[in-house]
Structure 1
Amino acid sequence: MTRTRAGLLDGAARAFAEQGLRRSTMQSIASAAGVAKGTLYNYFRTKDDVARALFSAEIVRLTDVAADLPPDQALVALADELATHPVLRRLAASEPEELAGLVVLRPERWTELTGWLAGLLGVDDDAAELAGRWLLGVVLQPGPTTGRRRQAAALAAVLRPPH
């Protein structure tokens, strides 16, 4: 990813966290990124394109956060990131219907997400489904940190393949 594109997505994350998805505009995203609106349009045609690109970039970032961790620690890291993500928390507080729209995935997108989780956690498809459903629950209702961490440990124990 180019530095400019990364800067635009950082600006989008700031704008979405401050104003929400609905109230953010291409101008507010450009301003948050410190660029002219024309520069933003050189990379993205619409605000929806920006949001999709930010979602994809966040998947890459989350992969980096959880890579090489054992499943229990990876689940904790992912849950903590999702529970404290400024854009997700803003949407939960002020635009819950937008958040719901983000977590209702088309079947092919869900398959892609659970495939990513299976590879990241080193588990089979069924275990990845279970982990994905739990993580979506964390997005919607993060709960206290101690509870998430206990749940992640319990889930990791369930996900472990039998010896």
Structure 2
Amino acid sequence: MSGTWGREEKPDVAALKILDGAAQAFVELGVSRAGMTEIARYAGCSRGTLYRYFKNRHELHLAFVNDRAVRLVAELRVELQEIHDPSRRLLEYIVRSVGKVRQNPSMAAWFEPSESGAAGRMSRGSEVIACLSEAFVVNLQPRDFDDSSSSRLQALWVVRIIVSLLTQPGKDEGEERALIETFVVPSLLERSNEVLSSLEH
């Protein structure tokens, strides 16, 4: 497949082709084993073309995580738009986020137990957390988190909870849902209400 396309592609189209190729490589090879050579092969381009868009694997990884996070949050926004109760909405948001990652092979690959090397560390690292949090804030801030000054911290905490469940799953979905509903949702909503109350006085 190498070298089947190159400069003739529009930059945004080319980048998406590469990320889609990377997704397939992550599923079939694993994140740690999918190097730039393998990703170029799966994307159907030369290594030279690949390096024009992503200077190294780390940069490609971050772009991939951001792209998938934006897609995931956009899906959730549509699915949850009819849920108006804040507690239920936040509960479903976290539970479905975890479920969607697990059901998507190219995203689930990042959290496989075998990914104990660089990819495994990266999936739990600050840069990936930041990418996910930014996607969540941009898409959900106005409705889900009431105060802009605290929304990033709240989103950061939600993402860390999601990553924790992906790396250390509960016994089953029912147990995870109960933990989130009992301990996570109340604390987040209470903090949001405290901020609003302080602003009103």
Q: Same fold (TM over 0.5)?
A: yes
Tell me how far 1:137 sits from its aligned partner.
Answer: 0.6
**Other-structure match for 2:113:** 93
Match of 1:74 among 93, 118, 128: 93
**Other-structure match for 2:41:** 31
Measure, in 2, the Cα distance between the counterparts of 1:48 and 1:129: 21
1:139 lines up with 2:160 in the alignment:
no
Alignment of 1:13-162 (within 5 A): 13-68=23-78, 69=80, 70-91=89-110, 92-97=112-117, 98-105=119-126, 113-114=132-133, 116-117=135-136, 120=140, 122-123=144-145, 125=150, 127-143=154-170, 144-154=172-182, 155-161=184-190
Give the number of equivalent residue pairs: 161
Tell me how far 1:19 sits from its aligned partner.
Answer: 1.5
What's the C-alpha RMSD, in Å, of the aligned pairs? 3.0
Provide the identity percentage: 25
Distance of aligned partners of 1:112 and 1:41 in 2 relative to their CA distance in 1, 3 Å threshold: closer
Higher RCO by CA contacts (8 Å cutoff, separation 6 or greater) = 1
Measure, in 1, the Cα distance between the counterparts of 2:50 and 2:17: 10
Higher helix share: 1
**Other-structure match for 1:4:** 14
Measure, in 2, the Cα distance between the counterparts of 1:20 and 1:6: 19
Q: Which amino acid aligns with 1:101?
A: M
Tell me how far 1:110 sits from its aligned partner.
Answer: 5.2
Unpaired segments ≥5 residues, structure 1: none
Distance of aligned partners of 1:47 and 1:127 in 2 relative to their CA distance in 1, 3 Å threshold: closer
Task: State the TM-score, normalizing by the size of structure 1.
Answer: 0.76
Bigger Rg, structure 1 or 2: 2
Unpaired segments ≥5 residues, structure 2: 1-10, 81-88
Structure 1: 4+ residue segments shifted above 6 A: none
Measure, in 1, the Cα distance between the counterparts of 2:64 and 2:130: 19
* 1:62-108 per-position Cα deviation (integer Å, ceiling 9, x unaligned): 221222523222212211123344345434232223313331216xx
Q: What SS class does the counterpart of residue 32 from structure 2 fall into?
A: helix
